[in-house]
Structure 1
Amino acid sequence: MRPRTPRTTWLAAAVAGATAVAATALAGTPVAARPVVAAPVAAAVAAPNIALANVKAHLSQFQSIATANGGNRAHGRPGYLASVNYVKAQLDAVGYTTTVQSFTYNGATGYNLIADWPGGDPNAVVMTGAHLDSVTAGPGINDNGSGSAAILEVALTVARTGFAPDRHLRFGWWGAEELGLRGSQYYVNNLPAAERTRIKQYLNFDMVGSPNAGYFVYDGDNSDGVGAGPGPAGSAQIEQTIQAYFTSIGVPTRGTDFDGRSDYGPFISVGIPAGGTFTGAEGIKSSAQASLWGGTAGQAFDPCYHRSCDTTTNINDTALDRNADAIAYTVWTLAQVATPPPGTTVYSDTFETATGWTTNPAGTDTATAGQWERGDPEATSSSGIATQLGTTVSGSYDLVTGRLAGSSAGDYDLDGGVSTIQSPAITLPSTGTLTLSFAWYLAHLNNSSSADYLRVRVVGTGTVTALNVAGAATNRAASWQSASVNISTLRGQTVRIVIDAADASTASLVEAAVDDVRIVQS
């Protein structure tokens, strides 16, 4: 991890860039007021346990390389190139396509190593990275042999298990991070615009075995309400996925800012969602943190940060093991698209073409602006809080309340009352289990109340309410979630899906969207 730089310097370059490229950045609310967010969809193939012994074997190799090359693995030094060659040989042996990308900084040649796992959607890349260089003062085993070794072992486990994800997997090991993120910046700068859009999420792991460890997760939605602000839209999903893993093993986490000290910086500056974990550098562990995680209060998370003592003895095995497993869980989860329920598709609409949905079908709507429409949505935000997403679950179109952005967030939001949109008639089969699934979000500011809502019903002779979410006097950022409900009580009927959204509070800002509606028979 690079040394601290003045926050204002980095914000001008990175956060402003992220705002220009991805105005849909998610910001959250104070922790106490955060809405409940649906847990990530369980991976179709569960993530395997990552063997700690294997990760530590890679660290031993990095230590041996440093010892044989002047005590470090720094940019422009022989120990760094030897480290690249070691990682490359491991990946080549199991079937990765590897590329060594060279660049020049401070008169010396640096190298990035990129490894692609065959298969997966090339237009939907999940990339995982770590910097491979050390400072000149030491071998850099925690900073950042730990992250490099952990993602290497995750990549090798992908191959050993024959994992065949829906999305394309890419791994990167960066050079010259310690000199100002030079390798990752070079990589991002030289990506064609089309290639940048294919990287849907970037996961960064820098210092994941600190001896006096904390358990920090990059604050993708700025839910702590302080610091450098959120990452681009999609960063919150990464944060929530990582948190879900640590929650499953009973380890509390805390947010850490995107403060520009590691290789996520170049990615978020061009609007690529990012996230990851961090166990602490030269910062001092507080008494509260020691009570939360154990360890020694009043001591640095890593007392050997950027020193010659950052060797294989400078590793907390428990923290390294937990983080390696968290990396695998996150990669496996994000790389797999939720599998639709098995069975016969009765009805499906991704809204990429017009299929006959009708607005205000009963002629009773009261909304005066921002009514439901099928459209290509434009991103909106207010005070850093994403109120409408410019991205859909699939394709370019969804059902959305007022698809345009306007000059301010409130220009096209739902106003004045209720807006309704209704599907064409759907004839349901008379046998089997019938399941309705769809993606949705409801976003509002803290001027909302429980009078505002998003509701989805299936209406025939009877009615099944599939979703009924009320507003509240809190900030709720737009974030795609999934819903699934059994509608078998309507078998044999001709039904319509009816979606209502209401802005019934005074002067509240409300936005809603629905995508990928599907009914299956099983």
Structure 2
Amino acid sequence: MRSRMLATAGAVSLALSLSAAVPASALTSGPARPSPAVKAPPDIPLANVKAHLSQLQSIANANGGNRAHGRPGHKATIDYIKGKLDAAGFQTAIQTFSYGGATGYNLIADWPGGDANNVLMTGAHSDSVTAGPGINDNGSGSAAILETALAVAREGLKPAKHLRFGWWGAEELGLIGSNYYVNNLPSAERSKIKGYLNFDMVGSPNPGYFAYDGDGSSGSGGPAGSAEIENVLRAYFSSINVAVRDTAFDGRSDYGGFIRYGIPAGGMFTGAEGRKTSAEAQLWGGQAGVAYDRCYHSSCDTSSNINDPALDRNADAIAYAVWTLAGGGGEPPGDTVYADDLEADTGWTANAGGSDTATSGRFERAVPQTTTYSGTTLQLPGNSGSTALVTGSSAGADAGANDIDGGTTSIQSAPISVPAGSKTLSFSWYLAHLNNASSSDYLRVRVVGPNGTTTVLDQAASAANRAAAWQPKTADISAYAGQSVRIQVEAADAGGASLVEAGLDDIKITK
């Protein structure tokens, strides 16, 4: 990932050639619109991704300790990736350009078939800085999308969309390669790219889980359609109970050239030189106050500078996004039998029992507005979309205008049929409050069946400022297999006057 201080690509003298020359028509050859073979997204073997990283480390070791633009290590990287793709049946082309007096390389790989007018592209930069081998930045993204592409070949995927993968050169010098690719596509070809997925640093040793802010919920959204990409990635992480936070579309990586042309984009990022906060350490583990990647742009960014769980999760998320967005699959791993992202009305009923006592901040399915008091965020937008179950969706004139007041508020789902067999309930939630709260204030989630009730979340407040943050929760509800149940959500401001907000989103039952 390029430094924020590096200049962006300006007026540069660039020249194009295609080694392994593949005519443009060949890059979109194959059946025009095959019937998609609907398959579940595969698990991407971590061992395979790590094997690619080992090869990139060996390439750096043999070429002056780096894989930087204009150095032999970068060309060797491109050759390694191209060899794997060629053997798997991809149609590949090397695009060359000139920058800083040196030749740079982009590698483009197309999977035959799919709608040539509807292209889903996935990319990562393949160069390092000169200071080190760049195994996290960005061997991790390069290796993860390579193994996803190889999985496409292994599975014989026949998606509705045409799949294209790209490995960019000279990203570390200002997004030179990716900008050159997008700028030099004929406008008719550029308009065929309907989505771009970017993965830059997905194995940071002290990782966070950040999605590019496609819907603009943090104030810097992408072009129309980017929210769908963000939601698909968030859905995967929700399915494995890993919370995701937004990171800005600030032009720092190779999606920059795509979004300038209005192409929807998205991706994941595990953090660079920024430091993990205490709240993030509580959410994801790791060390607070320490950089996400202590070896960012340094000689120690080697094969030992990788967090395996983060790399594994992101590689699987990439495959899930490709399969889902390309029309080749769709459900997250785990055989989902019920899912409600709350974007549509599925029959939730507020105060179903008629016993609620809250005078304001009553539960509703709505689009929540962000609410903040003295730096503490008390209400958030939805976790994966615009809508959630929230206590008083409107921000109002001040933070205390529409929070819970006066007692309890509840909302209940329509009946849900739970099939036979072992089942897991998952959802995202938050309980936020100021230091005038007490342990009498709470958020509870229950499963209500014909023969009893199980409380799956019972979160009490305390006399402390607690900011809203979507968190995952899972619970075994196998005891309700074969029964019809309802999910009941209840929150309370049950002590003295206090400022309390709660939310629930992305409810799912899986085998």
Q: TM-score, normalised by structure 1?
A: 0.56
Are 1:332 and 2:332 counterparts? Answer: no
The aligned amino acid for 1:371 is: R
* TM-score, normalised with respect to structure 2: 0.57
Q: SS state of the match for residue 366, structure 1?
A: coil
Kindly indicate whether residue 124 of structure 2 is the aligned counterpart of residue 129 of structure 1: yes
Q: Deviations over 1:393-439 (max 9, x none)?
A: 7xx6443333445576665444443211123456889xx55747342
SS in 2 for 1:215: coil
* Counterpart for residue 50 of structure 1: 48
| 1:369 and 2:360 are equivalent in the alignment | yes
SS at 2:447 equivalent: strand
Q: Show the 5 A alignment for 1:99-178.
A: 112-113=106-107, 129-132=124-127, 134-135=129-130, 146-147=139-140, 150-151=143-144, 154-155=147-148, 158=151, 162=155, 172-178=166-172
Alpha-carbon distance in 2 for matches of 1:470, 1:324: 34
The residue number in structure 2 matching 1:274 is: 268
Cα drift, residue 441 of structure 1: 0.8
Distance 1:148 1:490, change over 3 A: closer
Q: Aligned-pair distance for 1:469? A: 2.6
Partner deviation per Cα, 1:482-504 (whole Å, 9 max, x = no partner): 43432636976x75432212234
CA 1:478/1:409 → structure 2, altered by over 3 Å: closer, same or farther? farther
Task: Provide the C-alpha distance between the structure 2 equivalents of 1:44 and 1:59, rounded to a whole number of angstroms.
Answer: 26
AA matched with 2:470: S
- Matches of 1:52 and 1:348 in 2, distance apart? 33
Query: Residue type of the partner of 2:201?
Result: F
* 1:500 match: 490
In the alignment, is the contact (CA less than 8 A) between 2:175 and 2:254 conserved in 1? no
Match of 2:381 in 1: 389
1:442 is matched with which residue? Answer: 430
Query: Identity of paired residues, percent?
Result: 29
Counterpart of 2:5 in structure 1 is 5
Deviations 1:131-171 (A, max 9, x none): 41554xx8966696755764476446635764979999986
Tell me whether 156-165 or 470-479 shows the greater mean CA deviation. Answer: 156-165
The runs of 5 or more residues in structure 1 that have no matched partner are: 11-42, 209-213, 222-228, 245-256, 281-291, 294-300
5+ long unaligned stretches in structure 2: 9-40, 212-217, 222-226, 241-246, 275-285, 288-293, 321-330
Offset at residue 367 of structure 1 (A): 2.5
DSSP-derived class of the 2:270 partner: strand
Equivalent position to 2:390, from 382, 397, 400: 400
Counterparts of 1:112 and 1:165, CA distance in 2: 25
Distance in 1, matches of 2:267 and 2:372, equals 16
Q: Distance in 1 between matches of 2:253 and 2:380?
A: 28
Quick check: 1:485 aligned with 2:476?
yes
1:332 positional shift: 1.6
Q: Corresponding residue for 1:475?
A: 466
State whether residues 125 and 167 of structure 1, in contact with CA within 8 Å, keep that contact through their aligned partners in structure 2.
Answer: no
Question: Are 2:124 and 2:200, in contact at CA under 8 Å, matched by a contact in 1?
Answer: yes
Say whether 1:420 aligns with 2:404. Answer: no
Shift of 1:512: 0.7
Given that residues 351 and 374 in structure 1 are in contact (C-alpha distance below 8 angstroms), is that contact kept between their aligned partners in structure 2?
A: yes
Corresponding residue of 2:30? none
8 A contact 2:148–2:319 mirrored in 1: no
In 2: Cα distance, 1:424 partner to 1:456 partner: 14
What displacement does 1:458 show? 0.7
Take 1:271 and 1:410, find their aligned partners in 2: how far apart are those partners? Answer: 37
1:297-376 map, 5 Å = 305=298, 316-317=302-303, 319=304, 322=306, 326-332=310-316, 335-336=319-320, 337-340=331-334, 351-376=342-367
One-letter amino acid of the counterpart of residue 370, structure 1: G
| Cα offset, 1:442, TM superposition | 1.5
SS state at 2:85 partner: helix
Deviations 1:319-338 (A, max 9, x none): 06x55775244312564454
Higher relative contact order (CA 8 A, sep 6+): 1
Q: Indicate if the aligned counterparts of 2:49 and 2:143 stay in contact, CA closer than 8 A.
A: no
Question: Is the contact between residue 50 and residue 325 of structure 1 (CA under 8 Å) also seen in structure 2?
Answer: no
CA distance in 2: counterparts of 1:166 and 1:408, whole angstroms: 49
Q: Aligned-pair RMSD on alpha carbons?
A: 6.1
Shift of 1:454: 3.1
Shift of 1:456: 2.4
Q: Secondary structure at the match of 2:491?
A: strand
Q: Higher mean Cα deviation, 497-506 or 142-151?
A: 142-151
Closer, same or farther: CA 274–484 of 1 in aligned 2, 3 Å:
same
Taking the aligned partners of 1:476 and 1:166, their CA distance within structure 2 comes to 42
- 1:373: Cα distance to partner? 1.9
Find the counterpart in structure 2 of residue 252 from structure 1. none
Q: C-alpha offsets along residues 284-325 of structure 1, whole Å, 9 cap, x if unaligned?
A: xxxxxxxx99xxxxxxx77995xxxx7xxx8855x06x5577
Post-superposition Cα deviations, 1:216-255, rounded to whole Å, max 9, x if no partner, equal 335759xxxxxxx9999979x99x98xx9xxxxxxxxxxx
Partners of 1:55 and 1:153 within 8 A in 2: no
Q: From the superposition, tell whether residues 351 and 485 of structure 1 become closer, same or farther in structure 2 (CA, over 3 Å).
A: same
CA contact (8 A) 2:431 2:443 kept: no
The total of aligned residue pairs comes to 415
* CA pair 74-403 structure 1, distance change in 2 beyond 3 A: same
Secondary structure at the aligned position of 2:311 is classed as helix
Inter-partner Cα distance in structure 2 for 1:490 and 1:55: 44
SS in 1 for 2:200: strand
Contact 2:376 2:467 in 1 (8 A): no
Mapped to 2, the partners of 1:142 and 1:159 lie a distance apart of 24
Q: Distance in 1 between matches of 2:370 and 2:112?
A: 33
